[in-house]
Amino acid sequence: MNISIIAVGSELLLGQIANTNGQYLSKLLNGIGHNVVEHAVVGDNPERLKRVINTTLDKNDTVILTGGLGPTKDDLTKHTVAEILGRELVIDQAALDDIEHYFQKQNVEMTPNNRQQALVIEGSEVLENKFGMAPGMLVNHNEKRIILLPGPPKEMQPMAKNELLPHLLDGEQIIYSELLRFAGIGESKVETVLMDLIDKQSNPTIAPLAGTHEVNIRLTANGESETICQALIDPIKSEILSRIGEYYYGSDDIKLEQALMQNVKRTFAVYDGVTDGELYSRMKDFDDHQYLQGMLPHHQQFVDKTLPIERQLTITANIVKDLYQTDVAITLLYENESVYLGILNGEKLEIQSFKMIQQSNMLKHRTQNYVLIRLLNRLKPQ
């Protein structure tokens, strides 16, 4: 199912409010395996709205409109859709009863224009609004689906999740997702490497999601059981990991530092000249077996900054290894817009480096994930 989402309201174009409905619906619909392929925003102008709806219906099989279902003159969405489909607007008695009950309960006279909120497109499936007045609608027309939802998020979100979603699930099928987690790689590179898979996705769907200094990929399948869904996901997952597996650290709710500490089987300590101890704190939170023995913050008394960086890494790694009597020593230093990671295992020092501009707190925050994924690949049992 290819879905286009059209947000209706001049206030969106004027920048008075943000289109959070579009974001919510995209997450919800991609999460059940449907493809949101287009977003549009249209002001309160019936001719423009008609043009956008017709164009979208030519391209996609499902159109969702949010907004324009209220009682005022500029709430024109259902009138415009009804005109396009050649259908009448009729009163939904259940909706009208709810509206009248609301005004009676508030002891306020109901103005005639509020009856407009109970109007629905003839032949539509009415979606109950349990948090407002105007009901939503689902209309099947010439093998296309047109869905109308209210604009206020407090009404739209529960309606979409509780009233609309059951109509979009196929019979007895279930939706199952696995979230693949990656660090040390940018979203643009992930998308470039996986573009052919993304372009031909069907079941499961592939949704790259940018996180804080990491990238997630949600694979979502629908099928008759979780086992069937997992069988659909597994070959796509294997193909993705064959391309960017070096950046993968786990699935679903696992944290990067948690994945590292679950795989470490040797004692180690850290000399930290970059993250101000934040890297140590993240790892220590998951150090159930006390493999992380300690951390030494960088200070000029420990190393001469005029020495070559390789020599500085060697000195600091040996200092922290001897101090804490560990199997492995980790050292982090920053020089010439590069972070240097030294891993001393026995007598051999392995050095890795990556570019990192010293800007605000980005240096110490981004460095952590780059280092953690490298430590995971280097320290986990082979």
In this predicted model, what pLDDT tens digit does every residue of 269-293 receive, in sequence order?
999 999 999 999 999 999 999 999 9
Dihedral sign (CA 10, 15, 20, 23): positive
Residue 345 makes CB contacts below 8 A (sequence gap 6+) with: 327, 328
Q: pTM, whole model, 2 decimals?
A: 0.60
The answer to whether residues 131 and 102 touch, using CB atoms and an 8 Å cutoff, is no
- In the block, which residue shows the tokens 């193909």? 239
For residue 225, pLDDT beyond 90? no
Return left, alpha or beta for 132; rule: phi > 0 is left, psi -120 to 50 is alpha, else beta: beta
Q: What is the pLDDT of residue 148?
A: 97
Q: What is the pLDDT of residue 171?
A: 61
Kindly state the DSSP code that residue 204 receives in the 8-state scheme.
S
Residue count of the chain: 382
For residue 221, pLDDT beyond 80? yes
Identify which has the larger pLDDT, 89 or 360.
89
For residue 31, pLDDT beyond 80? no
For residue 172, pLDDT beyond 70? no
What number is the average pLDDT over the span 259-265?
94
For residue 365, pLDDT beyond 80? yes
Residue 143 and residue 317: Cα distance in Å, rounded? 67
For residue 20, pLDDT beyond 90? yes
Tell me the residue type at 77: T
Rg of the chain in Å (alpha carbons): 28
Residue 202 and residue 34: Cα distance in Å, rounded? 9
Q: 89-98, 266-275, 322-331, 373-382: lowest mean pLDDT where?
A: 373-382
For residue 361, pLDDT beyond 90? no
For residue 250, pLDDT beyond 90? yes
For residue 1, pLDDT beyond 90? no
3-state SS, residue 245: helix
Residue 333 makes CB contacts below 8 A (sequence gap 6+) with: 273, 274, 298, 309, 312, 313, 316, 339, 340, 342
Q: What is the pLDDT of residue 360?
A: 58
Residue 219 and residue 217: Cα distance in Å, rounded? 6
* Percent over 90 (pLDDT), the chain: 71
The model's confidence at residue 32, banded by pLDDT at 50, 70 and 90, is: confident
The model's confidence at residue 45, banded by pLDDT at 50, 70 and 90, is: very high
What number is the average pLDDT over the span 161-173?
80
The model's confidence at residue 363, banded by pLDDT at 50, 70 and 90, is: confident
The answer to whether residues 192 and 215 touch, using CB atoms and an 8 Å cutoff, is no
Q: Which of 262, 260, 254, 252 is closest to 180 using CA atoms?
A: 252
